[in-house]
Amino acid sequence: MEELKWSFQASARESGEKAGTQLFARHEVDKARSFHRSFAAYRETPLVNLRQLSAHLGVAGIYVKDESFRFGLNAFKVLGGSYAIGNYLAQRLGMDIAELSFERLRSGEVKQLLGEVTFTSATDGNHGRGVAWAAQQLGQKAVIYMPKGSAQERLGHILSTGAEGYITDLNYDDAVRLAAANAREHGWVVIQDTAWEGYYDIPVWIMQGYTTMAAEAIEQLRVQGVDKPTHVFLQAGVGSYAGAIQGVLAAMFPEERPITVIVEPDQADCLYQSSLAKDRRPRAVTGDLDTIMAGLACGEPNPIAWELLRDYADAFVSCPDYIAAQGMRILGNPLGNDARIISGESGAVTTGLLDRIMRDERLRTVRERLQLDEHSRVLLFSTEGDTDSQAYRRIVWDGAYPLPGA
Ligand SMILES: Cc1ncc(COP(=O)(O)O)c(C=O)c1O
């Protein structure tokens, strides 16, 4: 398929110096998970085994982690924002997050010690909703900025937590700069899901927060009799979530790491572009970043995530929007008695891609190169539900963004 652009990284399997994975070591993952467990709203999200789809596509297993159930917020992102806010408050108290539960952080005693804190962020919606929700739960304030074209429904969810929220006329990366400038002016705390020079701790905590999802998935696979996945497909915006999961996989399986594929929209494929660069330094993509995958519409890689993906990811792929639409339709209309998964554009692109790789004969060499066959057990993360429900229906009911030639 011409429209899919691939960059394979043979160097990921070569020995040599690679980015450290200590931030994603077992004890860090356990720490994030115990913090999340201390929330009253905490439940593991389901790991759905799509048996019929696996048989249909010719692999041994397709396991989809359904993050639409995360804390009732319809996306995984709250794992990062809440853990960063928790760590920030712990640091202000001179304590380690391991000593502090969610209940303790929201207690009157802590509020009295710290006073009122305002958290701010720029977001396509999912991250901001998580930050706004966590701030509300902890009795603090939030101000959220969204890029132009953001869905009103997503803004509505943010406002319903009591946060301030605005749809700006900026793209995502400029909205990040606006949040940072306003924070400097008003003394707010930036909870941004990407790093830059001098801004490191909070994005690391956000990435560590995402590891709860990987830890749950690996445990759930084991309960289903699967030692580890052979393949993991990870969709990426700035790459924080993909980098975090890649970090966990590299730390957990140092010998036989699963094959990882990093998936981006072709209008915002900054990691794919970075992977092509001779000097292996991160590259930015600019412009409107116009894609239906709103959560992945980011033009500048998180440098911490980039180093992990650069050294350990096996392939990067740049995808047209119709791949995401196809994934949404497949997950929403399951075969036989496979469970139905309501997956939004950014959540479903990896399923759409797996379907194309396995069913489109023009992708045979990709299939072979990735060693995807009847022995493969593929782990996918449906990172959001129908966070823009009108767009969801346009795609799943009305067939918007069809596969070319369909
Ligand atoms: C639903 C969804 N999936 C995936 C991502 C990608 O995460 P990251 O920006 O860390 O790459 C996002 C980011 O907002 C998202 O909202």
In a domain? residue 401: no
Among 140, 163, 192, identify where a domain stops. Answer: 192
> Could you tell me the pLDDT band of residue 292, with boundaries at 50, 70 and 90?
very high
Task: State whether 329 and 370 are in the same domain.
Answer: yes
Does any domain span residue 106? yes
To which residue do tokens 């993952």 refer?
Answer: 29
Q: What is the pLDDT of residue 56?
A: 98
Mean predicted lDDT score pLDDT of the chain: 96
**One domain, residues 248 and 267:** yes
The answer as to whether 55 is a domain residue is yes
Q: Tell me, what's the pLDDT at 258?
A: 98
148 pLDDT band (50/70/90 cuts)? very high
- Encode pLDDT of 361-396 as tens digits: 999 999 999 999 999 999 999 999 999 999 999 999
Last residue of a domain, one of 192, 225, 250: 192
Taking residues 44-71, report their average pLDDT: 98
pLDDT number for residue 2: 59
Q: Are residues 243 and 343 in the same domain?
A: yes
* Shared domain check, 243 and 128: no
Q: Categorize the per-residue pLDDT at 259 as very low, low, confident or very high, splitting at 50, 70 and 90.
A: very high
- pLDDT for position 305: 98
> Distance from the CA of 243 to the center of ligand 1, in angstroms?
11
**What pLDDT, on the 0 to 100 scale, is given for residue 287?**
86
In a domain, 310, yes or no: yes
Retrieve residue 292's tokens. Answer: 């239906």
Phi, psi of 38 (to 5 degrees): -75, -5
**pLDDT at res. 405:** 82
Q: What is the Cα 160 distance to its own chain's centre?
A: 23
Q: Which ligand 1 atom sits closest to the C-alpha of 239?
A: 11
Say yes or no: 66 and 103 in one domain. no
* Residue among 77, 123, 386 whose CB has most ligand 1 atoms within 8 A, to mutate: 77
- Which of 192, 226, 241 is where one domain is finished? 192
Alpha carbon of 109 to ligand 1 centroid (Å):
34
Residue 172 in this model has a pLDDT that exceeds 90: no
Q: Is the CB of 157 under 6 A from ligand 1?
A: no
In one-letter notation, the amino acid at residue 140 is: Q
pLDDT in tens, 175-205: 999 999 999 999 999 999 999 999 999 999 9
Q: Is 403 inside any structural domain?
A: no
**7: pLDDT strictly greater than 70:** yes
Instruction: Answer yes or no: do 227 and 362 share one domain.
Output: yes
Q: Is 239 in the pocket of ligand 1 (CB under 6 A)?
A: yes
pTM (global) more than 0.95: yes
Q: Please tell me the total count of domains within the chain.
A: 2
Domain that holds residue 111: 78-192
Whole-number Å distance, alpha carbon 336 to ligand 1 midpoint, is: 30
173 CB within 6 A, ligand 1: no
Indicate if the pLDDT at residue 1 is higher than 60. no
| Same domain? 71 vs 83 | no
Atom number in ligand 1 closest to CA 241: 10
**Residue percentage of the chain with pLDDT more than 90:** 94
In this structure, are 182 and 257 located in the same domain? no
Q: Of ligand 1's atoms, which has the minimum distance to the CA of residue 298?
A: 9
Chain mean position to CA 95: 28
Same domain as 178, residue 43? no
Which amino acid is residue 210, in one-letter code?
Answer: Y
Is residue 404 one of the residues assigned to a domain? no
So which residues are the catalytic ones?
77, 124
Whether 290 and 168 map to the same domain: the answer is no
Identify the residue whose C-alpha is closest to ligand 1 atom 14.
Answer: 295
In a domain, 402, yes or no: no
Does 363 lie in the same domain as 308?
A: yes
Q: Give the orientation angle of helix 201-223 with respect to helix 303-312, to 10 degrees.
A: 40
Instruction: Work out the average pLDDT over 200-215.
Output: 98
Indicate if 217 and 344 belong to the same structural domain.
yes
pLDDT at 212: 98
- Could you tell me if the CB of 63 is within 6 A of ligand 1? no
Residue 85 belongs to domain with CATH number: 3.40.50.1100
Find the mean pLDDT for residues 321-348.
98
pLDDT in tens, 120-139: 999 888 999 999 999 999 99
Check if 124 has its Cβ closer than 6 Å to any atom of ligand 1: yes
Give the model confidence (pLDDT) of 228-246 as tens digits: 999 999 999 999 999 999 9
Token pair recorded at residue 219: 């445990």
When pLDDT is averaged across residues 150-169 and rounded to a whole number, the result is: 95
Which residue owns the Cα nearest ligand 1 atom 16? Answer: 295
3-state secondary structure labels for all residues of the chain? CCCCEEEECHHHHCCCCCCCCHHHCHHHHHHHHHHHHCCCCCCCCCEEECHHHHHHHCCCEEEEEEHHHHHHCCECCHHHHHHHHHHHHHHHCCCCHHHCCHHHHCCHHHHHHHCCCEEEEECCCHHHHHHHHHHHHCCCEEEEEECCCCCHHHHHHHHCCCCEEEECCCCHHHHHHHHHHHHHHHCCEECCCCCECCECHHHHHHHHHHHHHHHHHHHHHHHCCCCCCCEEEEECCCCHHHHHHHHHHHHHCCCCCCEEEEEEECCCCHHHHHHHCCCCCCCCCCCCCCCCCHHHCCCCCCHHHHHHHHHHCCEEEEECHHHHHHHHHHHHCCCCCCCCCCCCHHHHHHHHHHHHHHHCHHHHHHHHHCCCCCCCEEEEEECECCCCHHHHHHHHCCCCCCCCCC
235 lines ligand 1 (CB under 6 A): yes
**Which helix or strand (DSSP H or E) is residue 222 part of?**
helix 201-223
pLDDT 10s digits, 58-72: 999 999 999 999 999
Q: Best substitution site from 296, 328, 350, 382 to test ligand 1's pocket, by max atoms within 8 Å of Cβ?
A: 296
